[in-house]
Amino acid sequence: MRRTGSARRTNPAARAGRLLATLLLDRQAALSPWPNRPQQHCVVRSAHPLPTRPRLFQLRVTGTGGGGAGGLDAAGVPLGTGATAVTASGGSATSMPSGMSPTAALASEGAFDSGSTEVTPVVGVGSGGADNGAAGSGGEVSWPSDPLELPDPPAPEPGQLTSGIWDDNANYSFFEHYQTSTLGGQGAKLPGALPLDQDAQEEAHAAVAAERAAKELLDVALVIDTTSSMGDELAYLKVEIAALHSTIRERYPSSEQRWGLVVYRDEGDQYVTRSFDFAEDEAAFETDLAAQSYDGGGDYPEAPDAGLAEAAGLSWRTGDNVARVLFWVADAPHHDDRAQPMLDAVMSVKEAGVHVYPVASSGVAELAELTMRQTAQLTFGRYLFLTDDSGIGGAHAEPTIPCYFVRLLSHSVLHVVDAEMTGEAPAQKLDEVIRIGGAIDQDGYCIYGSEQLYRPF
């Protein structure tokens, strides 16, 4: 893949805005976190172009005041409806008469500037109105717990990649809305989308708890796009792999860890795939990885379908006591006309009992993110994505998720291995967290919508 292909890609902030609008509207009637309190959601977008990295605003809406006794106007409409106040950090406050949408109120008052993106109000219950129909004062609703603040975030050292992780099976309702919006929520089919059977996704989601059980042995495969845009990622893996081997050995001395490698490019390049089967000799694997270089990839799509199909044929150990983990490191999707072979490759990996953890690198756009997340969801893996915090490589697209923790990529990999070996989501190590994307409360939930629904991994 070449970086020049970025001109073809959808602005990630605009994509997130479309998704959030769909999510908030679809869930309006369903969410009821506080009994007897009216629920309200809105999305406010600026008419100006959105920034590449969206700024998330925390919005508080005080509730509508109750009507007073009597007090009808000439048309017989009660006059005792209260006003609702809308306030967002980073923007000005405005007031909203009853019956006027928050979107219209904020737009009419110009409450947000060109840097504004999505806001999510919460409506509380107002106090009763005074006699003769005067408006009552608004009530106020607070989030269940205060936002999480990092004590002293560590700074990554030069050469260290940073990443986040998201679990779509643990946040399945969000995933469903994201997928629906991306696949055509705006009236246009996404070219190259996998011809997926939704029943297969639902079956995977239903089976995830049983699939994620504690293991004793560990097989790990790296499937890496080695086209010319992937030099930073390949160089990082070469440096970090020995330390990862050592840490895993210390934590799980009986795991008999084995590592395999598949590298791929595209048709017309020096090769399409190269594979190196599992080796118990860690030094041999490190030598194989060190010998790889990056080149080729003259257009945006590559051949991940060939790479994953090759990985399915590695000599994975069988048995319920083996954690079979595949890290798919890439920055580009399959070719549009290879959607069926791509799905076939994903299902082959799934049939081998392998959990796929994509690592979305710089340049990932709409089709690549969707395909990676669908692959992770179907195979019981999770979605990893590189971030700009390291300052390495090109710009990394914001993932379409409500919140996340940023860690070193090496810490994220170990977080994954811990989850696979123990069968449980590891406790968050806040001393490893470099940054919080979005906002997370002290209970570990995304501050998003008006209920504690979604959690980062």
Domain boundaries, given as residue ranges, for the chain: 162-437
Task: Give the model's confidence band at 126: pLDDT under 50 very low, under 70 low, under 90 confident, else very high.
Answer: very low
In what helix (H) or strand (E) does residue 219 lie, and over which residues does it extend?
strand 217-225
Q: CB-based contacts of 198: which residues, under 8 Å, 6+ apart?
A: none
- For residue 251, the 8-state DSSP code is H
Strands 217-225 and 84-88, by their bridges, are: unpaired
Long-range contacts of 28-31 (CB under 8 A, 24+ apart): 31/449, 31/450, 31/451
- Of residues 50 and 314, more confidence is placed in 314
- Of residues 136 and 248, more confidence is placed in 248
In the block, residue with structure tokens 């919460």: 122
Residue 226 has pLDDT above 50, yes or no: yes
C-alpha span between 9 and 52 (Å, rounded) = 12
Q: Domain 162-437, what architecture?
A: 3-Layer(aba) Sandwich (3.40)
Q: Is the dihedral of CA 433, 51, 398, 158 positive or negative?
A: negative
Average pLDDT, the chain: 76
The pTM assigned to this predicted structure is 0.74
Task: Give the model's confidence band at 77: pLDDT under 50 very low, under 70 low, under 90 confident, else very high.
Answer: low
C-alpha span between 386 and 158 (Å, rounded) = 15
Residue 394 has pLDDT above 80, yes or no: no
Rg (CA), the chain: 25
pLDDT digits over 143-160, tens only?
888 899 998 888 888 778
Say what percent of the chain tops pLDDT 70: 68
Q: What is the token pair recorded at 127?
A: 């106090």
Q: Is the dihedral of CA 192, 195, 199, 204 positive or negative?
A: negative
- Half-sphere exposure of 271 toward its Cβ, with a 13 Å CA cutoff? 12
Task: Give the model's confidence band at 188: pLDDT under 50 very low, under 70 low, under 90 confident, else very high.
Answer: low
In the block, residue with structure tokens 């009552």: 136
C-alpha span between 282 and 309 (Å, rounded) = 24
Question: Where does residue 310 rank: exposed (0-12), middle (13-18), buried (19+ CB within 10 A)?
Answer: buried
